[in-house]
Amino acid sequence: MKLRITPLNIITALAFAFLMSSILQTKPAGQHFDMSAFYKFILGSLILVTFITDLIFRFTLKDIKRIWIIELIFIVIAAVLMVILQKLA
């Protein structure tokens, strides 16, 4: 099995590292970010969704170049929708 790095893999790894650093954080004084348990749960759910989405893209598309293009478009659309929803709320 070949190791294929994709954009959703990178996003998932960064989000997972952020979640773990917020969970394992010991000192509340001088911390740079503070997440409630609800936001940690939401971030964990989004990590699971991006992981499953990446698996779906891998099984449906065999060409690594196509996977990169489709996943980058998916990430851009998701980011634009998040910004629009933040402006509406």
Domain boundaries, the chain: 7-23+34-88
pLDDT at 89: 76
Handedness of CA 31, 36, 39, 43 (dihedral sign): positive
pLDDT at 29: 59
Per-residue pLDDT reduced to its tens digit, 25-70: 766 656 566 668 888 899 899 999 999 999 999 899 888 899 999 9
pLDDT at 4: 83
d(CA 8, CA 14) in angstroms, rounded, equals 10
pLDDT at 24: 83
